[in-house]
Amino acid sequence: MLIKYMINYIIIGLIFLMIFFFIILIIGKYQSQKYIDVKIGNITINSEIADTLPKQIRGLMFRENLPKNNGMLFIFSKEEKHSIWMANTSIPLDIIWIDKNKKIIFIEKNAKPCESLGYCPIYKTDMNSKYILEVNSGFSDKNKIKVGQYINFKL
């Protein structure tokens, strides 16, 4: 009897969680999009800004492509260990973690989208970051972007 109640509570909790994420995704879709030029050396990346929780959860979900020299800059309220997962994302990406001083601290190259909801890797680093920049896979190698370089942008 107790197990039956526990299973019911778990199912109800999962349903509420799914509804919550669905609402967040919808809110993120309809928030106005802001863009910023992010510079790394002599390269300029036209970056969509993800500075709210709904935009950060939505990220690049449901996009079929990402134009050349475009990306998404995640701006977090505090510097800490931030992770990325790529549910409903069909574009392989280079994910660049950046600290509060705008120094590149880690690059995950060719991060693959989730194969299914059953298996969706989480991309992360053990270092604290304030920003994450997502660009097309191969962009880092093509433009010789390395850990230790600084980025430049003005909010």
Domain regions of the chain by residue span: 1-30, 33-152
Instruction: Check: CB of residue 17 under 8 Å from CB of residue 25.
Output: no
Instruction: Check: CB of residue 125 under 8 Å from CB of residue 79.
Output: no
What gap in Å lies between CA 134 and CA 123, rounded to an integer? 12
What's the sign of the alpha-carbon dihedral 123, 126, 131, 133? Answer: negative
Say whether pLDDT at 122 is over 90.
no
More confident residue, 116 or 115: 115
- The residue-averaged pLDDT of 129-150 equals 97
- The residue-averaged pLDDT of 110-115 equals 87
Instruction: Check: CB of residue 72 under 8 Å from CB of residue 50.
Output: yes
Render 41-104 in DSSP notation, one character per residue: TTEEEEEEEE-SHHHHHHTTTT-S---TTEEEEEEEEEEE--EEE-TT--S-EEEEEE-TTSBE
More confident residue, 135 or 120: 135
Predicted local distance difference test score (pLDDT) of residue 152: 96
Residue owning tokens 């230790």: 148
Q: pLDDT-based confidence at 104, cuts 50/70/90?
A: very high
Instruction: Check: CB of residue 58 under 8 Å from CB of residue 25.
Output: yes
pLDDT digits (tens, 9 = 90+) for 17-71: 566 556 655 655 555 678 999 999 999 999 999 998 888 888 888 888 999 999 9
Predicted local distance difference test score (pLDDT) of residue 29: 56
Predicted local distance difference test score (pLDDT) of residue 61: 81
**Residue type present at position 35:** Y
Classify domain 33-152 at the CATH topology level.
Jelly Rolls (2.60.120)
Say whether pLDDT at 127 is over 80.
yes
What gap in Å lies between CA 139 and CA 38, rounded to an integer? 14
Strand partners, 45: 38
Q: Is the pTM of this model over 0.85?
A: no
Say whether pLDDT at 16 is over 70.
no
Predicted local distance difference test score (pLDDT) of residue 67: 93
More confident residue, 5 or 77: 77
Instruction: Check: CB of residue 63 under 8 Å from CB of residue 112.
Output: no
